[in-house]
Structure 1
């Protein structure tokens, strides 16, 4: 999922923030850590926000990619940074709410060591099969899986990835046994699905959308609360008769736990204002995501809810990664 660098640079300057949000001003550049390599949506969102910091905070945002350990390295570094607003990280659902249950030691506690700042966007997943598959609905998939336990297979972008856990949630909610085949990234798994070596895949919508639109894959359902405008004929899982299969991968910014409220609130209002600006929102939409903003308190509640949800799923699937 990539944003065009030229498009980001073309974003207009933002209007001044209201006086109540201007109680803190950084005296040096703000370092924005990215848990992945360049090109992922975390990276794009970090660059978009960082390039607008000069307009609103008077200091640039400097992006630093720090991949490793499924994103845990960057979050651990942020947890250990000085709580002065000079270091924040672009985190997602997997980093904050899945990794703590998958790894023995992530180097951080999502509740105790990190301060929620702002959620800015989210992406739903889609369940897809090959276009010539005899399975044409979620109900037919569940029936086929129950008729042949363990014989159907699903691809994911990696063990412990958000698509993997979305599929595990589907299995848990439907009582089905479908064999997981992990890949190093989305592309090779989708290639094997197209090659007929895998039965199905659950993946971030932007990854499968081109294959659905060109007629090589069939989307059976999306994990959102509403249908996606890009696939208006594809039902949600709730519409397909499975209301408990709802999954979004959301993206937001967090800082060190001891971040003062004045700094946290100024960063939050700045980041949300950038994300909600019309040009930025349109670019995020074109990338397959949706602008979805939440401030510190709602983000903290969201983290609590997702930790409870994914902890149960991961324990039920008996998943543990080294």
Structure 2
């Protein structure tokens, strides 16, 4: 048998590798896809990851397996995905907090939301709502609240579910837009903050609409405004901040998926198509609504534009507030 020359042998290697890569992409997926949720089980991020994972067998032929990797405000899980092999078998459930807040909050983040990830699509979003305990703060609307706070600069405390959380940033945005001075009291989650709000030791807080809604409906707290561009369907009598007279105030928390940046485009396209079909499914959309969010599909280009806009919005707000962790 004729022996191949060294030049011929090594010259063939790139072509062999390219053919192998193309074959691997054509066969993808031939095993389960890992869905990394960078938070503990139970939150909306986790529910969305499991909801999409349940759709994967029908749409991709392989299951999606959720892996919770919490820590540092989601940064631990995000860093793990950024460093994962870009083969389509590891994707991230990402949101406004870990993509648009964390880069300004954590000095040693471990990932760059633009450089290290390929967007696959946004699937849902939700708004926050500002609520007060009327026994502590006798105000009926945003204008009365702002007047009350301006008469007592720095004397009123507000709760949040944690430093750097979306409820915390919602108040910092309100401060930036109106100039009011209120004092932040961070809690370790929404539940203990809400307990103190209901108990009267704190006067006001922002929270995700699904968390606050039962207490609003029970009459235990008063909703003053929602942070979105439209009124929330679950409480149509509550205005948006812009309707309440606060200019340039809009905030949503979005939830989507991303892959390591070098994941091949054909694989990314199939993942995006899977997400699009999942969100278009009426049963999936209804389950998202029952979880308190709105189905909101944005393709990769739209997701990238949303992220750029959020980075431009939240960088100045976070720097002005001096929020830092770690």
Does the alignment reach a TM-score above 0.5? yes
CA–CA distance in structure 1, aligned partners of residues 247 and 178 of structure 2: 11
Q: Deviations over 1:78-110 (max 9, x none)?
A: 111111100001011000000010001111000
Q: Which residue among 76, 99, 102 is the counterpart of 1:99?
A: 102
- What is the match of residue 57 of structure 1? 60
Offset at residue 24 of structure 1 (A)? 6.8
Runs of 4+ in structure 1 over 2 Å off: 22-25
CA–CA distance in structure 1, aligned partners of residues 246 and 159 of structure 2: 21
CA–CA distance in structure 2, aligned partners of residues 140 and 85 of structure 1: 52
Residue 273 (structure 2) pairs with residue 277 (structure 1): no
Q: Which residue among 215, 228, 237 is the counterpart of 1:233?
A: 237
Q: Which residue among 189, 196, 201 is the counterpart of 1:197?
A: 201
Q: Which residue among 305, 311, 317 is the counterpart of 1:301?
A: 305
Secondary structure of the corresponding residue to residue 132 of structure 2: strand
Secondary structure of the corresponding residue to residue 276 of structure 2: helix
Contact 1:24 1:262 in 2 (8 A): no
Offset at residue 131 of structure 1 (A)? 3.6
Contact 1:34 1:63 in 2 (8 A): yes
CA–CA distance in structure 2, aligned partners of residues 38 and 126 of structure 1: 23
Q: Which residue among 83, 88, 97 is the counterpart of 1:85?
A: 88
When the two structures are superposed, what TM-score results if normalisation uses the length of structure 1? 0.91
CA–CA distance in structure 2, aligned partners of residues 163 and 134 of structure 1: 21
Contact 2:122 2:299 in 1 (8 A): yes
Contact 1:193 1:199 in 2 (8 A): yes
Contact 1:31 1:62 in 2 (8 A): yes
Secondary structure of the corresponding residue to residue 315 of structure 1: helix
Q: Which residue among 272, 279, 304 is the counterpart of 1:268?
A: 272
- What is the match of residue 12 of structure 1? none
Gaps of 5+ in 2: 1-24
Residue 227 (structure 2) pairs with residue 223 (structure 1): yes
Q: Which residue among 185, 206, 216 is the counterpart of 1:212?
A: 216
CA–CA distance in structure 2, aligned partners of residues 284 and 28 of structure 1: 27
- What is the match of residue 129 of structure 2? 126
Give aligned pairs, total.
Answer: 301
CA–CA distance in structure 1, aligned partners of residues 61 and 68 of structure 2: 23
Q: Which residue among 23, 28, 32 is the counterpart of 1:29?
A: 32
Q: CA RMSD in A?
A: 1.2
Secondary structure of the corresponding residue to residue 127 of structure 2: strand
CA–CA distance in structure 1, aligned partners of residues 98 and 27 of structure 2: 28
- What is the match of residue 71 of structure 2? 68
Q: Deviations over 1:206-253 (max 9, x none)?
A: 110000000001000000111111101100101101132211000000
Gaps of 5+ in 1: 1-21
- What is the match of residue 247 of structure 1? 251
Q: Deviations over 1:178-229 (max 9, x none)?
A: 0000000001111111111112001111110000000001000000111111
Q: Deviations over 1:43-95 (max 9, x none)?
A: 11111111111111111111111111110111111111111100001011000
- What is the match of residue 172 of structure 2? 168
Offset at residue 318 of structure 1 (A)? 1.3
- What is the match of residue 18 of structure 1? none
CA–CA distance in structure 1, aligned partners of residues 196 and 249 of structure 2: 25
Contact 2:177 2:247 in 1 (8 A): no
Q: Which residue among 109, 112, 119 is the counterpart of 1:109?
A: 112
Offset at residue 23 of structure 1 (A)? 6.7
Contact 1:131 1:215 in 2 (8 A): no
